[in-house]
Structure 1
Amino acid sequence: MSLNEAVTGRAGEYADGSRLQVLDQATVVQYEWCGAWVVGARGDFDMHSITPLADALDTAAKEHPRMVLDASGITFADSTLLNLLIRTHQAADLRVAAPTQQLRRLLRITGVDTVLKVRATVEEAAAC
């Protein structure tokens, strides 16, 4: 299995045709940090797995004036997550903390990094 397959949870194929599947499990945690509400996301987020994160961000946007998405554990993101981030940004004061390399690249090539408040750490995002 390649490193990419191990990280993304996508199936790998061996020379004999057998396949190994590493299961993805997107998880969301929430907590308060330095006066900001933090939503921590771990795993792959696409149209099949976005619902728990969307629910958490939608609720947080209604209940907390300052919120941070801890994106340090996001292993895969596509336009579904981008759309959610833009919608949440329009509804609340959203900061994105510690995006992974894949997410940083996605934000950069789409120009979304110029719209969102992206910070290196949760601490920086909560303080800005």
Structure 2
Amino acid sequence: MSSSRDSRPAGTDPESCVAAQYREGDAYVVVLRGSVDLDGAEPVREALEAAAASGSECVIADLSAMTFGDSTMLNLLLRAHSTCSLRIAGPGEAVSRLFQLTSTDTVLDIYPTLKAALAGGNRPADA
């Protein structure tokens, strides 16, 4: 099985919520997809922990391919936020609403796109 940018460990379930993990400059990017809930939490937890331990300047969770996230996903992101410099990129409407309802949008650094998260800088006011 060959992949270009995807650096998932061998044996990773292709239906996993973790679509890809890679370094981009000083950042470690974890791309999540589909529904991230209790059933898909373990690969996401492992990916975020590996990213946090990578020594990268920051970890970016790219949520642009996610369709759903629940409190399990939120807990995983908050845990990662407490252990590394975490940036959230491209959350869709449903995930953005979850952030707003739980007021975690005031805690997490949320960027509208991966490109914006990679550029970093000050936290966007209206992400």
Interval of TM-score (by shorter of Structure 1 and Structure 2): 0.7 to 0.9
Structure-1-length-normalised TM-score:
0.77
Report what 2:28 is aligned to: 37
CA distance in 2, matches of 1:60, 1:68: 9
Residues 60, 88 of structure 2: 8 Å contact kept: yes
Say yes or no: does 1:108 pair with 2:66: no
Percent of aligned pairs with the same residue? Answer: 38
Residues 96, 116 of structure 1: 8 Å contact kept: yes
Report what 1:77 is aligned to: 69
SS of alignment partner, residue 22 of structure 2: strand
Residues 28, 52 of structure 1: 8 Å contact kept: no
Q: Which has the larger radius of gyration?
A: 1
Residues 30, 40 of structure 1: 8 Å contact kept: yes
Structure-2-length-normalised TM-score:
0.78
Say yes or no: does 1:86 pair with 2:78: yes
SS of alignment partner, residue 50 of structure 1: helix
Report what 2:124 is aligned to: none
Q: Please tell me the residue identity of whatever aligns with 1:94.
A: L
CA distance in 1, matches of 2:93, 2:83: 26
